[in-house]
Amino acid sequence: MDNLVMKGGAVVEKVDMPEANGYQLIYKFDNGYGASVVKHDFSYGGSEGLYEIAVLDKEGHLCYDTPITSDVIGNLTMSEANNILINISHL
């Protein structure tokens, strides 16, 4: 699914991770799902300036059973991560 517009609203929280030389963005969408977007020295692609994303369930836990992915997705550009965020907002 590649929708161009995010559905509904989202709350975003930024968590600095200085011990890992990076940060995490936690998204909470109106549909109850969320996402964790990280870029740090230990994330997939983080040391190359790329992002890793995971789908979160309604309780904020990693969710492995969506059409988006059954795992985390790493080595993403910001544009690729944004497209996945839009898709999560449409679940």
The answer to whether residue 3 scores a pLDDT higher than 90 is no
The pLDDT score that the predictor gives to residue 5 is 78
Q: How many domains does the chain have?
A: 1
Q: Report whether 9 contacts 88 (CB < 8 A).
A: no
At residue 6 the predicted structure's pLDDT band, cuts being 50, 70 and 90, is: confident
| pTM: predicted TM-score of the whole model, two decimal places | 0.91
Q: Is residue 2 part of a domain?
A: no
The pLDDT score that the predictor gives to residue 8 is 84
Q: Is residue 4 part of a domain?
A: no
Parent domain of 54: 10-89
The pLDDT score that the predictor gives to residue 4 is 65
Q: Is residue 5 part of a domain?
A: no
- pLDDT 10s digits, 37-90: 999 999 999 999 999 999 999 999 999 999 999 999 999 999 999 999 999 999
Q: Is residue 39 part of a domain?
A: yes
The pLDDT score that the predictor gives to residue 1 is 47
Q: Is residue 1 part of a domain?
A: no
